[in-house]
């Protein structure tokens, strides 16, 4: 058949791929491959179709086959490139294009693609060499630029040795000096040039370049260059000069960028310098003519205030910042001046929501001014009508300034009554607003809820939280778009042990894409305690998986945009995107969710060798990561008084949010438990076993220390982030694995045997014989008695559980104890090694099996009782009595006509039903697992 | 008093207070990175001195020679920072870049026909409706009378290179096109 005819036949494959019919693409490929079994283009297309159909193993094998032929034709290369990109095989992509470029060294496009492949893989050194080669051969300025960018990226790569860093930066400096043409400069090149000088500390050179005609011109047009220019001026100690620039911009261009005001302030408080140019040792060594400087700055800002009036806040806040900085530098001025500014600012901007955040840093006043300020604010709350915003701001400031003596439950209680009254009075103001607008009164309900939560923090009475729920749910009905109300409700429902309504409000936030990384902690942190996975309810497990999609998008998409930024010669965004990709890839939340998911899987899935091995490989990989905490913990509104824990921390379960230490502790728990159960030899390189996506290894300073040693260390960071019960689990697991590890290690087949059995697929039904073949000749290590601590763990857990029930501890605490005990009992059954009677016989492990049996019996008994007890007490929840109690607790709120009896009763039902459901579900799950 | 600085990829970790609001859509990573990699000088963030993000604008330069212009893709201000003229500052930034750096004839943007507050703002800044685009947006699920919420007004403001205001017209509200006809 002619190649033209074949081409015609291939076209439908592309159509099928474009329309997403991967299956039909595969079928067509197979049909044509029968006739043309050696056609690489067809194979590459089939590999792509297989990848899209998620048949990764088959796809990888086919990719490797085509890759080995070193293809050079465009169709094959393109198809293979798409397949490899989808599979995340960046190293193979590099090979593909480098091989092709080698064979066609005159092909500029292939050279560029080889360069991009190295960029995707983060091989900065190889990319830089390639860029140089491209420039020599094809003479294009952009290749010079690419080469310099790669040199800088390599210098900043954490894997690069410190002493190499400067050498590379100096190289980059030489290269850019050689190619710098001021007349043809554009913003990106200037930006790159200046960052190199900045990193080398050559501020003087940088300033010279910036102050050339083209430098000035480019900075005036490009915000990134101008931003960098400010940094240079500051780092070089030219604050005075920069202040002049800023003054000019403020006065002549009416620039109100706060950065300009900061430049002026920086210069005002510049410490006087000695003749040799070094700063005085004391930080408060202001020059003798400081008073004059200050007065000049004050005049400048006062002029801005005069010009802007109520149009812009910058001048006013500049004046306040000036007073505040004076005080911190030990030169306080007349206290009444700041107070006067506060009042005037409040008069003008008190009706803006931002007023509170703007002024808060300036409200740490001396006692005289403070009482004056309080009186002023109190007068501002009494007004009504149009002054609602003003009143809300006054409430916020008053609350912020409260000291401990004025924070008793009774005082808080009367405050909340006022806030609620004012909320209902103010609600009609927003009656006619469109449905999608926020209600102006919202903040009063949000504030009131914070008072209720603080009352709960003071006296542990759940009734306060019930009131918060009733008020916020009502406010949410009135203002369905207020995300702050949803956020508060999520936190409070979780604190009440009612996961379902918390999840409902979380879903109303419509969290998507990158927000999964920053916000999923709201619902997934310690979600194992609330999960009903053991009864087959996979809500949380699927929530974990869904929230993790973003990491796959990141590894597939972000590198493409690094490439794009390179091709646009975008010197500002290339490093930003590289850093972003790394931060998201090594996200702390990603792996916190991963651990929760493993915990959930083990509680409901049958334990197979595949599960054990796959999870073990992944967790060991994670263990080497340097994590970044991207969680947006500041999204929760906080209006608690200064000196008090924030609303965020008051509503954190067990008072501590899991972070790097918690993650590390749980990784150790599960790596130990899974290693014991797995036949994978610790010496086998794990990343070879990862199928499909092969994640990039991040930099870890400890990676050279053997894993076993690192697992054995317990840091204080880890121990501090665990709750008492998690710590008990941690200790239990350590003792358990320490006890059994010698025997596991002895029984585990040697790596060669494991590989052989896997490869040759010898019938290994007789596990004993294959294990025997690969084993050392000596006898199994002697069986020792299990440590007392292991046996005691379950008894203690049960006792603690009973005590918690008796003392009516909060539901989440009771669930926490129960689910951790369940987790501990599951760990006993992770290994199936001792179930094989021939293994036991040959190695004389009868005694050990007896110990394990006893241990398991003890665990099942204790944990089973916990489950039964939990199921039993769940019957006391969700009852009419509990609902009545709830309604009774919220009686005061019902004094308002808007809060109807039905509203309260409905919420009581929703809350208590959810509490009952989770207790019952967890209880039954435990019972099921223990059967 | 807001810091006006370039939009950085890292801002995606911190823009929740802006994006959790109903009027702001959160897109996939590719959406933001496309803008950041191609038009970095048209993307800008406003930040409060406390560190919180206040709002941002993302834009691009597009069109053929005769209608080359700046386009406002996303302009958003967090609810707590509204009514501080921040949108005006951000729009001014984008208009200046479109005019000085790219030499565009005009700046344009799309807005939901129901978003009256935003429309008033843009009119105050000198924008006028050029045409109405049918079914440009996804539904917000408002039920009956939902036509307005799915339709968009394409609004324009001429820049210095269009002194005779050829890029705008007075009866734009009556010029109706379908979403397929616009880029």
**Which residue, B80, B81, B76, B112, is CA-closest to B94?**
B76
In a domain, B112, yes or no: no
Interface of A with B in 549-578 (CB under 8 A): 550, 553-554, 557-558, 560-562, 564-565, 568, 570, 572-573, 576-577
> Chain-centre distance of CA A732, in angstroms?
29
Q: Which of B76, B104, B132 marks a domain boundary?
A: B104
Shared domain for B58 and B10, answered yes or no, is: yes
The verdict on B63 and B124 lying in the same domain is no
Instruction: Give me the residue from A354, A481, A572 closest to B40, CB to CB.
Output: A572
Q: Which residue of B has its CA nearest to A352?
A: B83
Shared domain check, B123 and B100:
no
What per-residue confidence (pLDDT) applies to A283? 47
The partner residues of A273 in beta bridges, in order of sequence, read A279
Model confidence band, residue A382 (pLDDT cutoffs 50, 70, 90): low
| B113 falls within a domain | no
Percentage with pLDDT > 70 across chain A: 92
- Per-residue pLDDT reduced to its tens digit, A319-374: 999 999 999 988 887 888 999 999 999 999 999 999 999 999 999 988 889 999 99
Distance between CA A439 and CA A789 in Å, rounded?
57
User: Considering only CB atoms, which chain B residues are within 8 Å of A223?
Assistant: 4-6, 41, 44, 93
Tell me: do B23 and B62 sit in the same domain. Answer: yes
Q: A207-216, A692-701, B151-160, B171-180: which range is least confident on average?
A: A692-701
Spatial contact of A833 and A677, defined as CB atoms under 8 Å apart: yes
Residue B162 lies in a domain: yes
Q: Closest by alpha carbon to A651, among A489, A472, A482? A: A489
Nearest-by-Cβ selection for B16 from A259, A515, A554: A515
Sign of CA dihedral A481, A487, A493, A496: negative
Best CA proximity match to A639, nearest among A356, A347, A351, A353: A356
Greatest distance between any 2 Cα atoms in chain A:
98
CB of A578 closer than 8 Å to CB of A604: no
pLDDT at A685: 53
Question: Do residue A564 and residue B33 have CB atoms under 8 angstroms apart?
Answer: yes
Residue of chain A whose alpha carbon sits nearest to that of B32:
A561
3-state secondary structure of B131: strand
Residues B75, B137, single domain; the answer is no
**Across-strand partners of B176?**
B132
Quick check: A733 contacting B, CB < 8 Å?
no
Burial category of A611 from C-beta neighbours within 10 Å (exposed 0-12, middle 13-18, buried 19 and up): middle
| Cα separations in angstroms, A229 against A238, A240, A362, A841 | 11, 14, 30, 77
- Contact between residue A715 and residue A664 where contact means Cβ atoms under 8 Å apart: yes
CB interface of A with B, residues 494-533, below 8 Å: 509-510, 512-515, 517-519
Q: Of B70, B104, B138, which closes a domain?
A: B104
Domain end (from B104, B138, B162) = B104
The verdict on B3 and B82 lying in the same domain is yes
Q: Mean pLDDT across the stretch A650-669?
A: 95
Mean pLDDT on A5-34: 92
Domain identity same for B126 and B178: yes
CB contact under 8 A, B41 and A553: no
Tell me, yes or no, whether B17 and B83 share the same domain. Answer: yes
Whether residue A728 is predicted with pLDDT greater than 60 in this model: the reply is yes
Q: Which residues contact A211 (CB under 8 A, 6 or more apart)?
A: none
d(CA A865, CA A862): 5
d(CA A111, CA A98): 8
Backbone angles phi, psi at B159, to 5 degrees: -105, -175
Per-residue CA distances from A2 to A13, A36, A77, A89, B146 (Å):
18, 12, 21, 34, 57
Query: Which band of pLDDT confidence, cut at 50, 70 and 90, is reported for residue A386?
Result: low
B100 pLDDT higher than 60: yes
Q: Is residue B13 part of a domain?
A: yes
pLDDT above 60 for A687? no
Residue B111 in any domain: the answer is no
CA distance B34 to A561: 7
Say yes or no: B80 and B19 in one domain.
Answer: yes
In Å, how far from its chain's centre is CA A552? 14
Phi and psi, residue A631, nearest 5°: -65, 140
- Band the pLDDT of A280: cuts 50, 70, 90: very low
| A570: chain B residues, CB-CB within 8 Å | 36-38, 40
Instruction: Return d(Cα A748, Cα A697) in angstroms, integer.
Output: 27
A317 lies within 8 A of chain B by CB:
yes
pLDDT tens across A887-918, in order?
999 999 999 999 999 999 999 999 999 999 99
Q: Looking at the partner chain, which of A224, A438, A553 has a beta carbon nearest the beta carbon of B41?
A: A224
Q: Are residues B8 and B54 in the same domain?
A: yes
pLDDT, residue A777, reads 55
List Cα–Cα distances, B104 to A777, B62, B168, in angstroms: 82, 9, 14
Inter-residue long-range contacts of A839-845, CB under 8 Å, 24+ positions, other chains counted: A839/A747, A839/A767, A839/A768, A839/A771, A842/A768, A842/A772, A843/A746, A843/A747, A843/A779, A843/A780, A844/A779, A844/A780, A845/A743, A845/A780, A845/A783
DSSP B138: P
CA distance A211 to A76: 51
Determine which of A50-54, A195-199, A359-363, A761-765 has the lowest per-residue pLDDT on average: A761-765
- Kindly state the helix (H) or strand (E) to which residue A812 belongs, with its residue range: helix A811-828
3-state secondary structure of A587: strand
The continuous run of DSSP H or E covering B45 comes out as strand B43-47
Helix (H, G, I), strand (E, B) or coil at A109: helix
- pLDDT over 90 percentage in chain B: 79
The backbone torsions φ and ψ at residue A249, rounded to the nearest 5 degrees and listed phi first, read: -65, -40
DSSP A516-567: HHHHTHHHHTTGGGG--GGGT--HHHHHHHHHTHHHHHIIIIIHHHHHHHHH
Please report whether residue B109 resides in a domain.
no
Domain membership of residue B124 as a residue range = 118-183
* Listed residue (A209, A146, A203) closest to A177, CA to CA: A209
User: Which of A215-219, A383-387, A558-562, A712-716 is predicted with the least confidence, judged by mean pLDDT?
Assistant: A383-387
Question: Rounded to an integer, what distance in angstroms lies between the CA atom of residue A915 and that of residue A909?
Answer: 10
Residue B108 and residue B126 in contact, taking contact as beta carbons nearer than 8 Å: no
Selecting from B5, B37, B48 the residue whose C-beta is nearest the C-beta of A561 gives B37
Tens of pLDDT, residues A729-744: 999 999 998 998 888 8
On chain A, the residues whose CB falls within 8 A of the CB of B16 are 515, 518-519, 632, 635
CATH of the domain at B85: 3.40.630.30
Q: Are residue B137 and residue B62 in the same domain, yes or no? A: no
Q: Which of B3, B33, B38 sits opposite A558 (nearest CB)?
A: B33
**B168 and B81 in a common domain:** no
pLDDT digits 0-9 by tens, A822-871: 999 887 666 677 777 888 888 888 888 889 888 889 999 999 999 999 99
Domain count, chain B: 2
Given an 8 Å threshold on Cβ–Cβ distance, is A561 in contact with B49?
no
Average pLDDT, chain A: 90
Q: Evaluate the CA torsion angle B64, B65, B67, B68 in order and state its sign.
A: positive
């Amino acid at each position: 058949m002619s190649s033209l005819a074949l081409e015609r036949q291939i076209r439908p494959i592309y159509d099928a791929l474009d329309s997403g019919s991967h299956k039909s693409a595969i079928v067509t490929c197979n049909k044509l491959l029968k006739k043309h079994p050696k056609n690489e283009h067809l194979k590459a297309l089939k590999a792509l179709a297989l990848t899209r159909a998620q048949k990764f193993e088959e796809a990888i094998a086919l990719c490797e086959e085509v890759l080995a032929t070193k293809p050079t034709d465009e169709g094959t290369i393109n198809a293979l490139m798409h397949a490899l990109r989808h599979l995340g095989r960046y190293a193979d992509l590099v090979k593909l294009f480098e091989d092709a470029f080698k064979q066609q060294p005159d092909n500029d496009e292939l050279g560029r693609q080889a360069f991009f492949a190295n960029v995707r893989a983060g091989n900065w050194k190889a990319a830089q060499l390639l860029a140089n080669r491209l420039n020599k051969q094809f003479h294009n300025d952009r290749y010079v630029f690419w080469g310099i960018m790669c040199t800088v990226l390599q210098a900043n790569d954490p894997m690069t040795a410190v002493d190499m860093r400067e050498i590379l930066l100096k190289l980059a400096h030489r290269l850019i000096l050689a190619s710098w043409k001021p007349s043809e400069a554009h913003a990106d090149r200037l930006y790159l040039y200046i960052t190199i000088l900045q990193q080398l500390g050559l501020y003087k050179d940088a300033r010279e370049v910036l102050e050339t005609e083209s430098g000035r011109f480019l900075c005036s047009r490009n915000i990134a260059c101008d931003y960098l220019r400010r940094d240079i001026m500051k780092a070089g100690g030219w604050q005075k000069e920069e202040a002049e620039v800023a003054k000019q911009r403020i006065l002549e261009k009416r620039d109100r960028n706060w950065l300009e005001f900061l430049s002026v302030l920086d210069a005002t408080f510049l410490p006087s310098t000695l003749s040799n140019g070094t700063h005085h040792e004391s930080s408060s060594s202001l020059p003798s003519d400081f008073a004059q400087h200050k007065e000049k700055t004050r005049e400048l800002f006062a002029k801005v205030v005069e010009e802007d009036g109520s149009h812009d806040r910058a001048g006013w806040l500049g004046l306040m910042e000036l007073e505040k900085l004076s005080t911190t530098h030990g030169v306080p001025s007349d206290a009444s001046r700041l107070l006067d500014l506060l009042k005037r600012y409040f008069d003008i901007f008190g009706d803006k929501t931002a007023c509170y955040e703007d002024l808060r840093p300036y409200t740490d006043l001396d006692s005289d001014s403070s009482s004056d300020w309080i009186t002023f604010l109190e007068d501002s709350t009494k007004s009504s009508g149009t002054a609602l915003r003003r009143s809300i701001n006054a409430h916020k400031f008053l609350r912020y300034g409260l000291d401990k003596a004025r924070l008793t439950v009774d005082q808080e209680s009367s405050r909340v009554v006022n806030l609620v009254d004012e909320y209902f009075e103010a609600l009609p103001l927003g009656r006619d607003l469109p449905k999608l607008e926020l209600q102006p009164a919202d903040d009063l309900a949000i504030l009131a809820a914070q008072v209720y939560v603080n009352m709960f923090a003071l006296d542990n009475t759940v009734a306060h939280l019930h009131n918060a729920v009733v008020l916020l749910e009502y406010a949410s009905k009135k203002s369905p778009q207020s995300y702050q109300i949803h956020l508060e409700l999520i936190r409070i429902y979780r604190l009440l042990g009612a996961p379902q309504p918390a999840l409902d409000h979380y879903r109303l936030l419509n969290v998507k894409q990158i927000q999964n990384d920053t916000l999923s902690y709201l619902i997934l942190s310690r979600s194992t305690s609330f999960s009903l996975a053991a009864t087959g309810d996979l809500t949380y497990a699927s929530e974990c998986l869904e929230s993790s999609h973003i990491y796959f998008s990141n590894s597939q998409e972000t590198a493409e945009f690094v490439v794009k930024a390179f091709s646009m010669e975008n010197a500002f965004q290339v490093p930003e995107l590289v850093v972003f990709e790394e931060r998201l890839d090594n996200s702390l939340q990603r792996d916190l969710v991963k651990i929760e998911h493993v915990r959930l899987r083990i509680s409901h899935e049958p334990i197979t060798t595949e599960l054990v091995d796959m999870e073990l490989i992944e967790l060991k990989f994670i263990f080497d990561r340097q994590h970044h905490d991207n969680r947006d913990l500041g999204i929760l509104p906080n209006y608690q008084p200064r000196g008090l824990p924030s609303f965020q921390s008051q509503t954190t379960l067990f008072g501590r949010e899991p972070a790097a230490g918690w993650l590390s502790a749980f990784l150790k728990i599960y790596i130990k438990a899974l290693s014991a159960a797995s036949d994978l030899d610790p010496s086998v390189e794990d990343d070879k076993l990862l199928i499909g996506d092969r994640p990039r290894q991040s930099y870890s300073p400890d990676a050279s220390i053997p894993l076993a040693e690192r697992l054995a260390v317990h840091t204080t960071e880890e121990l501090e982030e665990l709750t008492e019960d998690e710590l008990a689990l941690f200790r239990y697991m350590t003792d358990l694995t320490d006890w059994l590890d010698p025997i596991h290690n002895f029984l585990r087949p040697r790596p060669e045997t494991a590989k052989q059995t896997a490869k040759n697929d010898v019938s290994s039904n007789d596990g004993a014989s294959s294990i025997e073949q690969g084993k050392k000749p000596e006898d199994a290590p002697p069986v020792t008695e299990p440590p007392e601590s292991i046996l005691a763990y379950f008894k203690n857990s049960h006792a603690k559980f009973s005590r918690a029930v008796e003392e009516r501890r909060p539901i989440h605490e009771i669930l926490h104890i129960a689910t951790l005990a369940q987790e501990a009992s599951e760990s006993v059954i992770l290994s199936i090694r001792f179930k094989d009677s021939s293994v036991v016989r040959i190695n004389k492990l009868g005694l050990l099996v007896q110990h394990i049996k006893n241990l398991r019996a003890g665990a099942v008994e204790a944990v089973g009782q916990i489950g039964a007890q939990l199921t039993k007490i769940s019957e006391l929840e969700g009852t009419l009595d509990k609902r009545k109690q709830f309604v009774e607790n919220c009686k005061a709120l019902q004094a308002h006509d808007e809060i109807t009896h039905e509203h309260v009763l409905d919420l009581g039902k929703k809350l208590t039903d959810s509490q009952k459901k989770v207790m019952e579900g967890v209880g039954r799950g435990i019972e099921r697992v223990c059967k | 008093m807001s810091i006006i600085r370039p939009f950085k990829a890292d801002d995606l970790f911190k823009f929740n207070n802006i994006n959790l609001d109903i009027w702001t859509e959160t897109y996939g990573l590719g959406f933001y990175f496309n803008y950041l990699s191609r038009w970095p000088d048209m993307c800008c963030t406003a930040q409060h001195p406390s560190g919180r993000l206040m709002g941002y604008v993302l834009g691009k330069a597009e069109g053929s020679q005769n209608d080359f212009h700046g386009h406002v893709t996303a302009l958003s201000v967090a609810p707590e920072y509204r009514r501080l003229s921040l949108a005006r500052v951000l729009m001014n930034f984008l208009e200046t870049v479109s005019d000085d750096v790219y030499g565009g004839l005009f700046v344009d943007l799309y807005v939901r026909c129901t978003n009256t507050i935003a429309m008033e703002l843009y009119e105050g800044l000198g924008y006028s409706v050029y045409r109405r685009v049918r079914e440009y947006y996804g539904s917000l699920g408002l039920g009956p009378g939902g036509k307005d919420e799915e339709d968009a007004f394409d609004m324009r403001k001429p820049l210095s290179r269009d002194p005779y205001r050829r890029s705008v017209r007075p009866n734009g509200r009556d010029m109706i096109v379908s979403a397929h006809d616009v880029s």
